[in-house]
Amino acid sequence: MRERNLLTPLLLCAGIFAVSMFAGSLGALLGLGGGIIIVPALTLMFGVDIRYAIGASIVAVIATSSGAAAAYVRDHMTNLRAAMFLELGTTIGAICGAYLGGIISGRWLFIIFGVIMGYSALVMLRKRQESEKNVPPDALADKLQLHGEYFDAAENKQVKYKVTGTKAGLSLMWLAGVVSGLLGIGSGALKVPAMDLAMRLPIKVSSATSNFMIGVTAAASAGIYFVRGDINPLIAAPVAAGVMVGATISSRILPRLHSRIIRVTFVVVLLWISGQMLLKGIRG
């Protein structure tokens, strides 16, 4: 592997900042936490050790979540009760994952990352259908009153929905938490389908709720990374700053370009990068 001796710290920080801006804007557009772009970029492009990359990425996830969440909460899209209930699963998962991440060798992290990335890419291609009207009853959902409603701007009406699959959802969230703690990503790609398919939350609510949740899950891992010395200030700072700027630019200047072409291109790029990560893990 070619050692990159051309960079000075200033150039490295500047480069990381630029890439993070891109990750932040893309993440805000497509509803990702950005970690899935940042870890490969830092490790493959800039030769940063994967532990520093994961530490920086988890900070970026929090930046994305806290930055964007302000808007979602205002719109009443986030199902706070469902989020808190499911956070029971994700936080425990994140602690497990973060611990595991400290024991597992770097090469395995690359391999697992490649697999998760590939899966996330395919998840993005999935057609987003609204769930059918008949939602099976769920006693726990009733008891905790997880059902909700939101105002759909596109359809210009208040939409009520029922929530189900609480046990399945909680288990899936634990898994999402483990992946998040292990790889330093937001796991939005795992959370949104879990809420959407298993628990039947409307897609917009799932996205908003996931955005809130990834921040909390990331905070659980971040504490462990920090104490382990995985968060390098000179790597994490340009990443966090870049993501914040990128997400802000994306939401202010660019219109919501949710076109299929962007999505498909992104999926192709994700699949290619996941292949690169797998190769790096296998080759060492």
Partner 1 sequence: MSSSEHKPIIDPADASDVMDKWISSTLRAGVIISAVLLIAGLIITFARQPEYISSKTAVATLRKPSLGTVPNHIDDVVSLTVNGRGRGIIMLGLLVLIATPVIRVALSIVVFWLERDHIFVWITSAVLAFLLLALWLGRAG
- Contact residues toward partner 1 (CB under 8 A) are 4-10, 12-13, 46-49, 51-52, 59, 62-63, 65-67, 69-71, 73-74, 76, 80-81, 84-85, 87-88, 91-92, 94-95, 98-99, 102, 143-145, 212, 215-216, 218-238, 240-241, 244
Helix (H, G, I), strand (E, B) or coil at 132: coil
Which residue lies nearer to partner 1 by CB, 9 or 137?
Answer: 9
Which residue lies nearer to partner 1 by CB, 81 or 107?
Answer: 81
Query: Residue 18 Cβ, how far from partner 1 at the closest point, in Å?
Result: 14
Which residue lies nearer to partner 1 by CB, 29 or 240?
Answer: 240
Query: Residue 210 Cβ, how far from partner 1 at the closest point, in Å?
Result: 13
Residue 85, sorted as left (phi over 0), alpha (psi -120 to 50) or beta, turns out to be alpha
Residue with tokens 């209930």: 85
Residues 6+ apart with CB under 8 A from 78: 69, 72, 205, 208, 209, 211, 212
Q: Which of 28, 92, 24 is nearest to 239 (CA)?
A: 24
Query: Residue 212 Cβ, how far from partner 1 at the closest point, in Å?
Result: 8
Residues 6+ apart with CB under 8 A from 143: none
Which residue lies nearer to partner 1 by CB, 236 or 277?
Answer: 236
Residues 184, 39: contact at Cβ < 8 Å?
yes
Which residue lies nearer to partner 1 by CB, 31 or 238?
Answer: 238
The helix (H) or strand (E) run that includes residue 128 is none
Distance CA 149, CA 110 (A): 40
Query: Residue 226 Cβ, how far from partner 1 at the closest point, in Å?
Result: 6
With b meaning 16 or more CB within 10 Å and e meaning fewer, what string describes 73-101? eeeebbbebbbebbbebbbbbbbbbbbeb
Q: What is the DSSP string of 104-123?
A: S-HHHHHHHHHHHHHHHHHH
Query: Residue 49 Cβ, how far from partner 1 at the closest point, in Å?
Result: 5
Query: Residue 248 Cβ, how far from partner 1 at the closest point, in Å?
Result: 10
Query: Residue 282 Cβ, how far from partner 1 at the closest point, in Å?
Result: 21
Distance CA 174, CA 177 (A): 5
Q: What does the DSSP 8-state code read for residue 34?
A: S
Query: Residue 203 Cβ, how far from partner 1 at the closest point, in Å?
Result: 21
